[in-house]
Amino acid sequence: MFYFHLPDNKLKIACDFLFYDVFINCLELKPIVAWKLRNAKENQFYYFLSLIKQAVECLMAGKPVLSADRLKKGTYMSQYPQWYYDEFKQIGVDYTDLEEAQAYDLRMQALRDTENEANNLRELLGIKNTDRILEIGTGTGELALKLSEHCKKIVAIDVSKTMVEFAKMKAESQNKKSIQFYTAGFLTYEHCTEPFDVIITQLALHHLPDYWKLIALRRVYGMLREGGKFYLLDVVFPSQIRDYDSYFNKIITNLRETAGNELAEETETHIREEFSTLDWIMEGLLKSAGFYIESVNYDGFMAGYLCRK
């Protein structure tokens, strides 16, 4: 077993992280994995541990363990058919860029009051301290960090390993130990334990084309308990606009004046390259995935959907 080969400091972290007994009893690691853990730099080490943890959870739930190929960088998609969408490929803004991850919170601070957002969401979703929550597309983990004090368990996932590592560092520096971070997305996260009470995703679903949004929403539906709540916030275009040229030009000009060039350019990239859809399509996708839409809030091209399974 690999733990005999790990230096003390790594063994301690691995045991804290993986619940020693479960780990020792459940997993027979291959020598290549042991080698990888022994030689991993700190950030890779946590990443490998998080993959092993997912494997342990799958084993305990009697589900198949993800292929060891996933331990190799860049082969996340190898277990999927050739036609399956590669959600790790960056579209529009590159969230795997370290500078982007580091600058993200600063940029958001100028635009958003994340404390307020988290409080409003807690109220809207009626989050209780017994709830198990999944956040998809967590980015730098701001929301997950804020919600973690008010629920039983929170799993925060993102396809950008850079964002996940950054969020993990923030959690460690704030001594918040109850969040589980994974590098995975709407189309690849495998949940093996109890269903979630609440699933939240903000500003991430537009990274998928419409057909894949439906697949993503069906997967979300499948991970939610009966009666559980799903909150989706995203950029969704209003279908009632007659003159889209003026509409978008006005938005960009306003943004340039109020929030600066960088955000205006990012919004241009969003409209041009990312996959934000129209309001009636988004509502149709949610319903088609099985959700009952309890309330919708359209504010310009931001839309918030509170849904129930």
Ligand X SMILES: C[S@@+](CC[C@H](N)C(=O)[O-])C[C@H]1O[C@@H](n2cnc3c(N)ncnc32)[C@H](O)[C@@H]1O
User: Which chain residues interact with ligand X by CB under 6 A?
Assistant: 87, 95, 108, 136-139, 158-160, 163, 185-186, 202-204, 207-208
Q: Which is nearer to ligand X, 181 or 186 (CB)?
A: 186
Residue 223 C-beta: closest distance to ligand X, Å = 13
292 backbone dihedrals φ, ψ, rounded to 5° = -95, 125
- At 231, list the tokens: 């909150």
Handedness of CA 43, 208, 291, 305 (dihedral sign): positive
Q: In whole angstroms, how far apart are CA 273 and each of 19, 92, 234, 255, 303? A: 43, 5, 15, 18, 19
- At 298, list the tokens: 């359209």
Q: Which is nearer to ligand X, 57 or 87 (CB)?
A: 87
Q: Which is nearer to ligand X, 132 or 206 (CB)?
A: 206
Residue 142: which of 186, 180, 104 has the closest Cα? 104
Residue 138 C-beta: closest distance to ligand X, Å = 6
Residue 104 C-beta: closest distance to ligand X, Å = 7
Q: Which is nearer to ligand X, 151 or 159 (CB)?
A: 159
Q: Which is nearer to ligand X, 51 or 204 (CB)?
A: 204
Residue 96 C-beta: closest distance to ligand X, Å = 7
Residue 2 C-beta: closest distance to ligand X, Å = 30
Helices (H), 87-152: 98-111, 114-125, 142-147
Q: Which is nearer to ligand X, 5 or 150 (CB)?
A: 150
Q: What is the DSSP secondary structure assignment for residue 237, as one 8-state letter?
A: B
Cα–Cα dist 150/128, whole Å: 7
Residue 184 C-beta: closest distance to ligand X, Å = 7
Residue with tokens 């509170």, as numbered in its chain: 306
Task: Say if CB 291 and CB 307 are below 8 A apart.
Answer: yes
Tell me the residue type at 250: K
Residue 125: which of 198, 218, 41 has the closest Cα? 198
Q: Which is nearer to ligand X, 25 or 79 (CB)?
A: 79
Residue 61 C-beta: closest distance to ligand X, Å = 22
